[in-house]
Structure formats: C-alpha cells, structure tokens
C-alpha cells in the first residue's frame, strides 16, 4: 500500500496537507524527523500513517493521559489497533495489553514518559523485546525549559536513543521558536534529523487587541453576537476562571471553568461538556487545551496578558481548526505586564528570568503594535509575511495614519547624533530633553536635544517601534540593545522617503482593580 492509499483507506482523506507526505516518507526511510506544525496542522497523521505502513510497533509519547483514550478510541474505530498504558488502568487491564503487544496485535502504543522509564525501566526493557519500528514524541517542546510547557518527566526521553539507537524518532510540536527547536534536537539526541517547519499562518483567524478597561463589560459586548458559538476565554488565575464562568452564567451564557486545581472528575466532566457543545464557553487557565481537538471553536479570548508569544499563538490556534472564520481577541493592559514581570523574577533563576522577560517584552510589543499583527507573529516564528494581512485589527484599520516623516527624521537624527550607541529609553529621554542626570552633559549641548519634547514618552516608544518595524532603524541583538541606522535611514533623513505612522492611541492605565486578574 502506498502512503496515499493508506491515507484514503484508513483516514478517509483524499490528499496530504503541508509537509505531511515528505515527513512520512522520511520516517519510512528510517530517518529521525522534527516536525513543527501549527495546532490543527495535522501532526498526528505524520506518525499514525507510518505506523499503519510499517510492520511493527509504534510507541507514542504523549504528556496528556486524559487525551490518550480519545486518540486510541478513534484509531480503533478507523481499524488501526492501538492501545495505551497509564496509571489509571487496573493491573488486569494492563496485562491484557501486554499480552496483545507480545502477540504483535498492536500498531500504536501511547505512553507518558514517566511510564516508559518508571519502575526501573521495566516497561522499556519489555518494549525492547518487541519489533519497535517508530517512536513518536508528541508535544516535544515539553522537553525544553524555553517551551511554554516544560515537563521535567520529558527529560527522561534523552534515554530513548540509548535504548533504541536504530529506531527512527519523530518529534512533533506546534512551538517553533528557534531556542526551543535547538533544545529539542539536543535533548533528544536526534541523529541527523530532517527538520520540517510548516507555515504557521492561520489565515482564517482575525487577530485583535483592545485596551483592557472594565474587562467584563468588554467581554459581554464581544459575546453579544456570539451567543451560539463555542469559545475559550483564557485567564491568568485559577480563581478568576471560576468567578468569570459564574458571572457569565448569571448573564445567561452557557459557561464552564477549567484549571489544574479542579479535581480530575470535574475537569473531565467540564471538558467533555465543552467538546460535545453542551457548554459553549470554556473559561480556563492555560492548563486547558493542549491536544484538544475541537474543530468549531469560533473565538479565543485572552482576558489577561499571556506570558509569551509561543503560548499566545498556540492558544489562539485552538480557534478555527475547521478553517472557518474565527477570532482571537486580547484585552491588553500594561499593568498586566508589570504584574507578570514581578512573577517572573520571583519564580526563576537569573538566566531563565532574563529569557522570560525578553519573551514577555515581545508579548508587550505585539500588544502595542501599530503594524500588521499577523506579520509580527509570523516573523516571530521566522516566517516571511506581507506587510498587510487584511485580517487583523491593524489591517482592518481601526487606527488612523498620518505623515510621520518629520517624527521619523527627528528620531533618526537623534540616533545619529548619539553615535548609534544608545538604547530606546535613552534616545527617547534625549529627544524629549529630559533633565535627568542620566543624560550626559555633552549630549545636552547638542542641537537635537529636546527636539521631540512635544511628544510623550509612551508615544515616542511606539513611534520608535513602528519606525523600527519599517526598517528605518534597527535594534542590535546585544545584552544591552542599542538603536542604529539602517541602509534605509538615509533616504528618510534626506526627505526622499515619506514615512507613514500610526496615530498613537494611548492605552490608559487602569486606576481601579480589574475583577479578573
Ligand atoms: P495537530 O497538529 O494539532 O495535532 P491533528 O493531528 O489533530 O492536528 O489534526 C487536525 C485535524 O486535521 C484532525 O481533525 C485531522 O483528522 C485533520 N487532518 C489531518 N491531516 C489531514 C489531511 N491530510 N486532510 C484532511 N484533514 C486532515
Ligand atoms: Zn494584518
């Protein structure tokens, strides 16, 4: 049977998506693979199809015991013998599966990493006696501290290549940032892996950010004409998920809560109700969603600022898996960023804090963008994108543009006068003619000092970001990033290039406490 025939026979699909076919071919050839695809991209098929074609056992490592049953059930329905072993099973149930494995009656075996390597490697030693043909590692970013969902038990997977040196390993994830990628490859010891990165663009999702102000009212307005739709609302704290779900129910909405602190039975019940469309709105912490395959989620709302772009993108990606138009809405308050920053410093060592703060700053930049949000997101994952996607709030142009050539010229002159050796804070203070002692005396003598005093600090920061996004200035990658000119700067300085900027929309810091933080 060819891969295409198997696709049609077992999965009922007529053609492969994205890089699926190439990935499958590599696995069939015995090569290690790392596949990065967005949520809903079709990762499972990349190991399920080889499992059908290869004569032997595929081990699937998955972090979520709760979801194994669903996956195994649907494989069995499709006529592909599959099973899982987990701690929820009785010894008798496990014995039945072990016997089937011995009799070569199972094609895919789902396990959590701690099960594989627990009890002094008892299971791994047993599996080595079987004809294992493929090892798939789902949610492979869980092995990395830099992923947004680090799970220490994933580190045990470093032992896989020791126990199964000849068996192709396929690592799959929807997290694509470079640092995490590198970490996955290193920690798993993949041998000359073929790396596939599918496009991360989710064209059917419209991205929006709104200044957060009385978030409950904003939410009610958002939900007004979405009463019959399924959606997920992400909150930062466990407590606020329950409070918000209750408040929404009071307003007549069908809402349920989900967070890691709920007892297992209740979590399963709430999740099930949402999957079956019995409950429309899931108010959850980020504990909810990984691996959940619900195609008709019409919107994902972030009522609090996510900690990083990776998490945000993954969470928004749970909307619109069926390809129909869907919304991602983020309510942004700079105060959220300040709170998150203080958590980061408390919870991590110095190096981790530094990286997490950088990631948080990227999230802030995204929230304050005046250029296409999709472009920012795709570029963040090193994917090229056009300047205007036509389906984010910026491109749908809820912001007014103005001729910002003079503003840009002022910024560029300041950077030039300062010898291209200072970061944005210094440049802005200099432009505004700050009396601060931090501004060197010699700089206070320069003619450009204070030429931008009419623009507020926050506005200047936004203009700078926009000017940088257009490539008229750049920021270095150093530990202390400085702003420099680019090849495109000269034309602006000489007045040959017009610069269109976005009128700064000032996001008012909230004075009153929001109920849902
Ligand atoms: P993820 O990458 O998030 O793990 P899944 O493997 O769950 O995504 O796939 C998402 C959905 O796309 C599933 O419903 C799956 O059956 C479907 N799918 C996967 N491959 C194809 C294909 N080649 N053609 C059509 N649908 C597909
Ligand atoms: Zn856009």
**CB contact at 8 A, 380 and 368:** no
**Residue 42: which region, alpha, beta or left (left: phi > 0; alpha: psi -120 to 50)?**
left
Full 3-state SS string of 341-370: HHHHHHHCCHHHHHHHHHHHHHHHHHHCCC
For residue 392, give the DSSP letter: B
508 pLDDT higher than 60: no
Nearest residue (by CA) to ligand 1, atom 5, is 42
Report the run of H or E that residue 126 belongs to, with start and end. helix 113-128
Instruction: Using most ligand atoms within 8 A of CB, pick from 24, 44, 176 the residue to mutate for ligand 1.
Output: 44
pLDDT for 392: 94
Nearest residue (by CA) to ligand 1, atom 18, is 42
How many A from CA of 362 to the centre of ligand 2? 17
Largest Cα separation within the chain, whole Å, is 85
Nearest residue (by CA) to ligand 1, atom 13, is 42
Atom of ligand 1 nearest to the CA of 138: 4
Taking the CA of 208 as reference, the closest ligand is 2
Q: Phi first, then psi: what are they for 73, rounded to 5°?
A: -60, -45
pLDDT for 118: 79
d(CA 365, CA 417): 26
Among candidate residues 335, 366, 340, 364, the one with its CA nearest the CA of residue 353: 340
d(CA 103, CA 456): 73
Q: What DSSP string runs through 144-201?
A: -TTSSS--GGGGGGGGHHHH-TTS-EEEEES---HHHHHHHHHHHT-SS-EEEE----
* pLDDT tens string 467-476: 988 889 998 8
* pLDDT tens string 57-103: 999 999 887 778 889 999 999 999 999 998 888 999 999 999 999 99
Q: How confident is the model at residue 513 (pLDDT cuts 50, 70, 90)?
A: very low
ipTM above 0.95, yes or no: yes
C-alpha atoms less than 13 angstroms from C-alpha of 255 in its C-beta half-sphere: 25
Give every CB contact of residue 119 below 8 A, 6+ residues apart in sequence: none
How many A from CA of 460 to the centre of ligand 2? 22
Taking the CA of 38 as reference, the closest ligand is 1
Give residue 194's Cα distance to chain centre.
22
pLDDT for 399: 64
Atom of ligand 1 nearest to the CA of 17: 23
pLDDT for 507: 42
- Mean pLDDT, the chain, integer: 90
Could you tell me the sign of the dihedral formed by the alpha carbons of 225, 227, 232, 234, in that order?
Answer: positive
Instruction: Using most ligand atoms within 8 A of CB, pick from 45, 292, 294 the residue to mutate for ligand 1.
Output: 45
Among candidate residues 415, 417, 404, the one with its CA nearest the CA of residue 483: 415
How many A from CA of 18 to the centre of ligand 1? 11
Nearest residue (by CA) to ligand 1, atom 9, is 42
Structure tokens at 123: 């299971």
**Cβ neighbours, 10 Å, residue 207:** 26
* pLDDT tens string 270-287: 999 999 999 999 999 999
Q: How confident is the model at residue 505 (pLDDT cuts 50, 70, 90)?
A: low
Atom of ligand 1 nearest to the CA of 317: 3
* pLDDT tens string 14-69: 999 878 999 999 999 999 999 998 877 889 999 999 999 999 999 999 988 777 88
**CB contact at 8 A, 302 and 234:** yes
* pLDDT tens string 312-360: 999 999 999 888 899 999 999 989 999 998 888 777 788 888 888 999 9
Q: How confident is the model at residue 147 (pLDDT cuts 50, 70, 90)?
A: low
pTM of the model: 0.63
Q: Phi first, then psi: what are they for 492, rounded to 5°?
A: -70, -45
Taking the CA of 396 as reference, the closest ligand is 2
Taking the CA of 376 as reference, the closest ligand is 2
16-24 own/partner pairs: CB under 8 Å, 24+ apart: 17/41, 17/42, 18/42, 18/198, 18/199, 19/196, 19/198, 20/45, 20/46, 20/49, 22/196, 23/170, 23/194, 23/196, 24/49, 24/50
Atom of ligand 1 nearest to the CA of 14: 24
d(CA 374, CA 366): 10
pLDDT for 22: 95
Atom of ligand 1 nearest to the CA of 174: 2
Q: How far is CA 73 from CA 103, 104, 108, 265, in A?
A: 20, 19, 12, 20
Residues lining ligand 1, judged by CB closer than 6 Å?
13, 16-17, 20, 37, 39-45, 293
């Amino acid at each position: 049977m060819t891969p295409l025939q198997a696709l049609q026979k077992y999965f009922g699909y007529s053609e492969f998506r994205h890089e699926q076919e190439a990935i499958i071919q590599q696995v069939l050839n015995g090569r290690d693979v790392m596949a990065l695809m967005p949520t809903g991209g079709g990762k499972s098929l990349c190991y399920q199809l080889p499992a059908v074609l290869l004569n032997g056992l595929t081990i699937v490592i998955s972090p979520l015991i709760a979801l194994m049953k669903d996956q195994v059930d649907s494989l069995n329905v499709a006529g592909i013998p599959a099973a899982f072993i987990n701690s929820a099973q009785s010894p008798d149930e496990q014995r039945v599966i072990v016997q089937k494995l011995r009799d070569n009656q199972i094609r895919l075996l789902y396990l959590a990493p701690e099960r594989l390597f627990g009890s002094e490697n008892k299971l791994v030693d047993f599996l080595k006696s079987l004809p294992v043909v493929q090892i798939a590692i789902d949610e492979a970013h869980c092995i990395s501290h830099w992923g947004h969902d680090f799970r220490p038990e994933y580190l045990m997977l470093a032992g896989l290549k020791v126990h199964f040196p000849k068996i192709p390993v396929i690592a799959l994830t929807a997290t694509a940032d470079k640092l995490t990628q590198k970490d996955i490859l290193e920690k798993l010891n993949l041998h000359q892996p073929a790396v596939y990165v599918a496009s991360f663009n989710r064209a059917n999702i419209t991205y929006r950010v709104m200044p957060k102000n009385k978030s409950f009212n904003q939410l009610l307005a958002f939900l007004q004409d979405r009463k019959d739709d399924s959606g997920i609302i992400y909150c930062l704290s466990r407590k606020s998920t329950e409070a918000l779900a209750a408040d929404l129910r009071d307003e007549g909405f069908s809402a349920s809560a989900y967070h890691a602190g709920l007892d297992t039975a209740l979590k399963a019940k709430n999740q099930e109700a949402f999957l079956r469309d019995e409950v429309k709105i899931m108010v959850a912490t980020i504990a909810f969603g990984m691996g959940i395959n619900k195609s008709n989620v019409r919107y994902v709302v972030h009522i609090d600022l996510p900690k990083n772009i990776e998490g945000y993108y993954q969470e928004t990606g749970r909307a619109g898996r069926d390809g129909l138009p869907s919304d991602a809405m983020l309510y942004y308050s700079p105060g959220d960023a300040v709170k998150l920053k203080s958590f980061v410093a408390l919870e991590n060592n110095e190096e981790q804090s530094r990286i997490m703060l950088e990631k948080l700053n990227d999230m802030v930049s995204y929230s304050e963008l005046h250029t296409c949000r999709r472009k920012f997101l795709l570029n963040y994952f090193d994917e090229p994108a056009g300047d205007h996607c036509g389906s984010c709030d910026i491109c749908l142009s809820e912001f007014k543009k103005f001729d910002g050539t003079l503003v840009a010229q002022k910024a560029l002159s300041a950077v030039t006068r300062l010898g291209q050796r200072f970061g944005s804070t210094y440049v802005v203070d200099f432009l505004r003619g700050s009396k601060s002692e931090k501004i060197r005396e010699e700089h206070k003598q320069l003619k450009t000092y204070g030429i931008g005093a009419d623009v507020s600090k926050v506005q200047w920061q936004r203009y700078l970001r926009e000017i940088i996004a257009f490539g008229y200035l750049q920021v270095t990658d150093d530990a202390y990033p400085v702003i420099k000119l680019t090849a495109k700067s000269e034309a602006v300085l000489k007045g040959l290039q017009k610069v269109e900027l976005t009128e700064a929309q000032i996001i008012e810091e909230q004075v009153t406490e929001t109920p849902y933080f």
